[in-house]
Chain A
Amino acid sequence: MNFSLLLPEWIALGTLLILIFREILNGPKSRNSSGIAILLTGTALLLLSLFFLRNSPGSAFGGTFVLDSFAVFFKIFFSLAAFVVLVSSRFFFRPLGGEKTAEFFLILWCALLGMLFLVSANDFLILFIALEIMTLSFYILTAYQKGNLASIEAGVKYLILGSLASAFIIYGIGLLYVVAGSTHFDSIQAAFAAQPGHKLLLLSALLILSGLCFKVAAVPFQLWAPDVYEGAPVPVVAFLSVGSKAAGFALLIRLIFTVFTPFDHERKILFPVLAAMTIIYGNLGAVVQKNIKRLLGFSSIAHTGYLLIGLAAARDSGLAALLYYLLTYALANLAIFFVLSLTANELKSDQIDAFRGLAERSPFLAASLFIALLSLAGVPPLAGFVGKFLILSAAIRDHLMWLALIGILAIPISLYYYLGVIRSMYLEEPVHTASITVPGSAKLILGLLITGILLAGFFQSPVFRIVENALQHF
């Protein structure tokens, strides 16, 4: 057994244990700054271990756990996202009397641990356990602000609908076990190959895919997203919209292109329709929103639609485009939620109106939001444009003209609602004129994210190579 393959997970687990023991020993006295120091060290070690493991693929636990370049790509992705979210949550909770943040960090880290296992799962049991570690952590995180009714409501909604999705998945896994007699990916794939027309297999694949579509907020499983985004604390929404969605897509990619390959024909019917519905629903829903978090909820549904085009198109062009799009989406969304967690306590409102005159109160934050929003809208030379460009050319390459046309027609609509936020920030007079101070560390991270958006927009080739490298085992 190859234990060193699990080095990142060991590190994550170790960090988690240190946090727990520190909490138990120190109790409420524990200082947050040392907590965040432990986490940052943990993230650094995690990234370092991934860097060393990036070229040594292998599997452990009898093949139920695999580490390939695809898994490494997503583990780096999750660690970096978690890092940004951890820093932003510090700014978000500090003015709220941050004595409870230790638990917050702990649960967030737990979600990260789930994600790390998730992308390496090669067995449906491991997959389900990892998925539940992640999802359960998110239920708690969503409802974390106990004094805030909206937060609790969001948590309950997410819990009920999320449990339903989990039930779908576990039912699907059960049916698979009935037919194949195993939960291992390889033996299930063999079962599929042996009896391709088996109705139970098709049903179980549909159940599992539905559950995952819930995780990525694809229509018709999207209803929870706007409500949860509106109610949950800002850093949680950031991690939900980036981490949880990426985890969902990582699983979808792995399952569709390994275990469920016999259903390639069904995929080509199902996913274009899902993608089109999701793009239309997300974009039209966002147009009328007055609350920025709710708006971003609908916008994240719309982006799920574009990502689904990557699954609808042919594997070669579609997957690379999907991963590129995911990167650009993550950069922009992390930047946006970083700004929101810095402004949340100053503005005391999530209404778009509250952002009036932000350009005068803090030119830096307004400019960051400006660039990140335009990137989401797909305006060149920002990263989002390249993502859309690759996704749409993948669709056209696979002769999905109508789908590409829907994706293209949605661009001006999305620009309209993103410009609504920009109009508030730049064109309208501020309510309060007091300037917002931005700490140096926040400026650094935000600056890096914005630079990333610009670089991934203009230097497509190096980023594309990273993405292709991640997909080399497919």
Chain B
Amino acid sequence: MIFLLTWIPFVAAFLILLTPSEKKSALPIIAKTACLLTFLLTIGFLWRFRPDQPGYQFLIRIEWFPAFGIAYQAGLDGINMTLCLLHALVSLAGVFTAAREKKRLKEYLFFYLILVGAIYGVFTCLDLFFLYLFYETTLIPLYPMIGIWGSKNKEYGAMQLTLFITAGAALALFGILLLYQKTGFGTFDLIRITEHLKNAPFAAHDQNFLAALILIGFGVIASLWPLHSWSPIGYAAAPTSVSMLHAGVLKKMGPYLILRIALACLPAGMAHWSTLLAVLSGIGILYAGYAAISQKDLKFMVGFSSVSHMGYVLLGIAAMTVTSVSGAVLLMFSHGVMAAAMFAVIGFIYEQTHARGVFDFGGLGKKAPFISMSFIMASLASLGLPGFSNFVAELLIFIGSWEKSPVLVGLAVLGVLITAIYLLRAVQHVCYGEFNPKWNQLKDAVTWQEKFPFVLLLGALLLFGFWPQGLLRLIQPAVGAMLP
């Protein structure tokens, strides 16, 4: 069953390719159906998921390339179950935005579905070869999607994003191949490799070297400072639904793969670099937060903000305690949903006004109450207000990291303050104050199709804000099993 998550979007993409361009109305229906089906499937998996059962559930294994020990193997534990839920939410919300695209809709939805399917592939596969294959497959749609349908500096943004992530992925591939070679029994099966390395770990210098490759390679997509520069530029250039998916979900592949490969297979190597990783994350939190303050473009601001928030995630991973890593996974979920909502709001306004400056608007609260409300809620979630799951996640990270690095936790709390500065300022300038009559034509979200993405995303944030145990009961046992 679990392979359906990957293959439903791919099949739908193929169907879209076969649909003649004249039948415009059929295209969004196919795309939405595919995203809805995968969403329902994910909910079904969540329903049948047994948190108390150790190991992976819904496991399937198809021998694929036996000469190299490659098998199509997929399964879920608490960590990737949570991330699949995140992706299901964001991709469903995103497809409603994507379907409003006016230019070359057919190609856009085709690329969108390829992207959605490949991300499911990364989150479900438990074979290093297929993990890497799907990870890199996400690059095929990204370049044209940003380059063709993007805005402001789109060619530069698309090129930088693609090259940064490819360079990182190439290093990670080197690490994966070395790992394959050094384990010495010729399999890419992640479960077997993890188990084997628990009993017979590599020598310290091997672990350090491999962990460094994985950290740098996947740190690029996690926008670890100083490898983050592609991220604000790329998000500002990308069309709304790509920003939503990329900031919301794609970026989480970085920490996820660091957890799965570096933390689970190379704990000593990870411990070796943990101080450096924590320091870099701390710098990232403060630097990106500080940069976000001085942004005049809302998308750039959210872009820097996401770099800053990924700093918390990486800080939590660097501390390597069950509490902090669980917090990091929960923050991956919460930040993903929040960032998607934020980009959806900005995209909604930009679609009508072609403006997205922090100071371009004013008084939207009266003119467009629903959108303003969503923006305010997303901002409050982002700055860690209790009642949203972001708060719980950040708290767990701080508590879990306190013992290891109290100074950095202090700095990270300062980062929360910085987040409050730029977000509250943006809320003030956009939603309150004098209404700018230039935007008299601006319409609020009226139809259910326009409102649905916001309701879905913010609803999820609130639900797990009041009931964090709903996710933590999945995450904590899985993290506990992973940590040494």
Is B65 part of the binding interface, using a Cβ–Cβ cutoff of 8 Å? Answer: yes
Is A129 part of the binding interface, using a Cβ–Cβ cutoff of 8 Å? Answer: no
Smallest distance from the beta carbon of B132 to chain A beta carbons, Å? 7
A411-B170, A412-B163 given; A380·B67 CB < 8 A: no
Q: Identify A415's interface contact among B68, B158, B162, B177, CB under 8 A.
A: B162
Smallest distance from the beta carbon of B141 to chain A beta carbons, Å? 11
Measured CA separation A401–B155 after assembly (Å): 35
Looking at the complex, which of B142-150, B197-205, B318-326 is the stretch in contact with chain A? B142-150
Smallest distance from the beta carbon of B145 to chain A beta carbons, Å? 10
Is A392 part of the binding interface, using a Cβ–Cβ cutoff of 8 Å? Answer: yes
Q: Which B437-455 residues have C-beta < 8 A from chain A?
A: none
Smallest distance from the beta carbon of B335 to chain A beta carbons, Å? 28
Is B70 part of the binding interface, using a Cβ–Cβ cutoff of 8 Å? Answer: yes
Which A residues are in CB contact (< 8 Å) with B70? 460
Contact at B181–A397, with CB atoms within 8 Å?
yes
Which A residues are in CB contact (< 8 Å) with B173? 389, 392, 408
Mask: chain B, 170-181; 1 = CB below 8 Å from A; 0 = not: 110110011011
A396-B177, A419-B159, A426-B148 given; A379·B170 CB < 8 A: no
Is A427 part of the binding interface, using a Cβ–Cβ cutoff of 8 Å? Answer: yes
Measured CA separation A397–B170 after assembly (Å): 17
Is B139 part of the binding interface, using a Cβ–Cβ cutoff of 8 Å? Answer: yes
Contact at B177–A461, with CB atoms within 8 Å?
no
Smallest distance from the beta carbon of A314 to chain B beta carbons, Å? 12
Is A423 part of the binding interface, using a Cβ–Cβ cutoff of 8 Å? Answer: yes
Is A404 part of the binding interface, using a Cβ–Cβ cutoff of 8 Å? Answer: yes
A392-B173, A412-B166 given; A380·B148 CB < 8 A: no
Contact at B159–A416, with CB atoms within 8 Å?
yes
Q: Identify B147's interface contact among A380, A396, A426, CB under 8 A.
A: A426
Is B64 part of the binding interface, using a Cβ–Cβ cutoff of 8 Å? Answer: yes
User: A460 — nearest CB in chain B belongs to which residue?
Assistant: B65
Task: Report 17 cross-chain contacts, Cβ distance below 8 Å, ordered by A residue.
Answer: A379-B137, A380-B132, A389-B129, A392-B177, A393-B181, A411-B166, A411-B170, A412-B166, A415-B163, A415-B166, A419-B159, A423-B147, A427-B154, A460-B68, A461-B67, A464-B67, A468-B67
Measured CA separation A163–B316 after assembly (Å): 65
Is B133 part of the binding interface, using a Cβ–Cβ cutoff of 8 Å? Answer: yes
Which B residues are in CB contact (< 8 Å) with A408? 170-171, 173-174
Is B167 part of the binding interface, using a Cβ–Cβ cutoff of 8 Å? Answer: yes
Q: Which A383-409 residues have C-beta < 8 A from chain B?
A: 385, 389-390, 392-393, 396-397, 401, 404-405, 408-409
Which B residues are in CB contact (< 8 Å) with A392? 173-174, 177
Smallest distance from the beta carbon of A180 to chain B beta carbons, Å? 38
Most chain B CB within 10 A, of A370, A390, A393, A427, is at A427
Measured CA separation A397–B68 after assembly (Å): 12
Which B residues are in CB contact (< 8 Å) with A468? 67
Is A422 part of the binding interface, using a Cβ–Cβ cutoff of 8 Å? Answer: yes
Measured CA separation A415–B166 after assembly (Å): 8
Is A452 part of the binding interface, using a Cβ–Cβ cutoff of 8 Å? Answer: no
Q: Identify A427's interface contact among B132, B155, B174, CB under 8 A.
A: B155
User: A392 — nearest CB in chain B belongs to which residue?
Assistant: B177
A412-B167, A460-B65 given; A404·B174 CB < 8 A: yes
Contact at A416–B163, with CB atoms within 8 Å?
yes
- Chain A interface mostly: helix
Is B297 part of the binding interface, using a Cβ–Cβ cutoff of 8 Å? Answer: no
Contact at B170–A409, with CB atoms within 8 Å?
yes
Q: Identify B177's interface contact among A370, A381, A404, A409, CB under 8 A.
A: A404
Is B351 part of the binding interface, using a Cβ–Cβ cutoff of 8 Å? Answer: no
Most chain A CB within 10 A, of B154, B158, B170, B181, is at B170
Which B residues are in CB contact (< 8 Å) with A464? 65, 67
Contact at A381–B162, with CB atoms within 8 Å?
no
Interface residues of A (CB under 8 A from B): 370, 374, 379-381, 385, 389-390, 392-393, 396-397, 401, 404-405, 408-409, 411-412, 415-416, 419, 422-423, 426-427, 460-461, 464, 468
Contact at A422–B144, with CB atoms within 8 Å?
yes
Contact at A461–B147, with CB atoms within 8 Å?
no
Is B66 part of the binding interface, using a Cβ–Cβ cutoff of 8 Å? Answer: yes
Contact at A379–B140, with CB atoms within 8 Å?
yes
Is B101 part of the binding interface, using a Cβ–Cβ cutoff of 8 Å? Answer: no
User: B21 — nearest CB in chain A belongs to which residue?
Assistant: A363
Contact at A422–B143, with CB atoms within 8 Å?
yes
Measured CA separation A460–B69 after assembly (Å): 12
Contact at B133–A380, with CB atoms within 8 Å?
yes
Contact at A379–B178, with CB atoms within 8 Å?
no
Smallest distance from the beta carbon of B107 to chain A beta carbons, Å? 8
Contact at B133–A461, with CB atoms within 8 Å?
no
Measured CA separation A56–B147 after assembly (Å): 54
Contact at B177–A393, with CB atoms within 8 Å?
yes
Measured CA separation A397–B66 after assembly (Å): 17
Q: Which B44-98 residues have C-beta < 8 A from chain A?
A: 64-68, 70
A379-B139, A422-B144 given; A396·B64 CB < 8 A: no
Contact at A427–B140, with CB atoms within 8 Å?
no
User: B136 — nearest CB in chain A belongs to which residue?
Assistant: A380
Q: Identify B140's interface contact among A374, A389, A390, CB under 8 A.
A: A374
Which B residues are in CB contact (< 8 Å) with A460? 64-65, 68, 70
Q: Identify A379's interface contact among B136, B148, B163, B180, CB under 8 A.
A: B136
Smallest distance from the beta carbon of A54 to chain B beta carbons, Å? 21
Contact at B136–A412, with CB atoms within 8 Å?
no
Contact at A461–B65, with CB atoms within 8 Å?
yes
Give 8 nearest A-B pairs by CB, closest first. Answer: A412-B167, A380-B133, A427-B147, A460-B65, A412-B166, A408-B170, A380-B136, A411-B170
Smallest distance from the beta carbon of B170 to chain A beta carbons, Å? 5
A412-B170, A460-B64 given; A423·B159 CB < 8 A: yes
Contact at A419–B143, with CB atoms within 8 Å?
yes
Besides A408-B171, A416-B163, A427-B158, 4 other CB < 8 A contacts? A396-B178, A412-B167, A415-B163, A464-B67
Measured CA separation A396–B133 after assembly (Å): 19
Measured CA separation A261–B438 after assembly (Å): 80
Smallest distance from the beta carbon of A87 to chain B beta carbons, Å? 25
Which A residues are in CB contact (< 8 Å) with B159? 416, 419, 423
Smallest distance from the beta carbon of B432 to chain A beta carbons, Å? 39
Which A residues are in CB contact (< 8 Å) with B67? 461, 464, 468
Q: Which B107-160 residues have C-beta < 8 A from chain A?
A: 129, 132-134, 136-137, 139-140, 143-144, 147-148, 154-155, 158-159
Which A residues are in CB contact (< 8 Å) with B144? 370, 422, 426-427
Mask: chain B, 231-253; 1 = CB below 8 Å from A; 0 = not: 00000000000000000000000
Contact at A405–B174, with CB atoms within 8 Å?
yes
Which B residues are in CB contact (< 8 Å) with A380? 132-134, 136-137
Smallest distance from the beta carbon of A378 to chain B beta carbons, Å? 9
User: B175 — nearest CB in chain A belongs to which residue?
Assistant: A408
Mask: chain B, 181-201; 1 = CB below 8 Å from A; 0 = not: 100000000000000000000
